[in-house]
């Protein structure tokens, strides 16, 4: 699994933003500035849709005030599903969405998990990373169900501690 001090791997991704969908690499998309990248098992899934994404959306202004240049939500869904989720959540003005349909970045980060028993195949672990110029400064991976360590309040606390 990726650790503090590791550079983000360069893997092909589709990035869904307010401007549209672009094919790029994770390094190009997250290699400069301060980026909060949070990963969810699936778009529209109950915890992801009701707890994880809304927390980042509600705290987007605070995260930006704490020095975050970009907030990105990653999932192993295709770009069409990610765009529909972003639009349904009214999040496109605040959060970019990473479509990692083949779980290539999830695998490269060591955050891929087997959700086959739930009929979902390979998915991301619920996690959040703080990247500074493409290098992981902090990583938070949930060790159980729910949103605690990887939620927006925990990320804000980490950013405030780093900026103190």
- Choice among 15, 48, 95, 152 that is catalytic: 48
Residue 139 CA to residue 152 CA, distance in Å, equals 13
Residue 111 CA to residue 159 CA, distance in Å, equals 22
Angle at the Cα of 115 from the Cα atoms of 112 and 118, rounded to 5 degrees: 165
Six-digit token string for 37? 């990248």
Q: Let me know if 48 is a catalytic residue.
A: yes
Return the active site residues. Answer: 48
């Amino acid at each position: 699994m990726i650790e503090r001090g590791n550079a983000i791997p360069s893997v092909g991704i589709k990035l869904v933003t307010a401007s549209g969908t672009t094919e790029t690499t994770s390094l190009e998309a997250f290699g400069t500035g301060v980026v909060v990248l949070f990963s969810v098992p699936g778009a529209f899934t109950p915890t992801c849709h009701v707890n994880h994404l809304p927390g980042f959306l509600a705290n987007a202004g605070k995260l930006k005030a704490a020095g975050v240049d970009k907030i990105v939500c990653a999932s192993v869904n295709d770009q069409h599903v990610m765009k529909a989720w972003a639009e349904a959540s009214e999040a496109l003005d605040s959060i970019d969405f990473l479509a990692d349909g083949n779980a290539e970045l999830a695998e490269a980060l060591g955050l891929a998990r087997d959700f086959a028993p739930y009929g979902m195949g390979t998915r991301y672990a619920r996690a959040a990373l703080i990247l500074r110029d493409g290098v992981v400064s902090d990583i938070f991976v949930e060790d159980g169900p729910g949103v605690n360590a990887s939620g927006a309040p925990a990320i804000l606390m980490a950013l405030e501690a780093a900026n103190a």
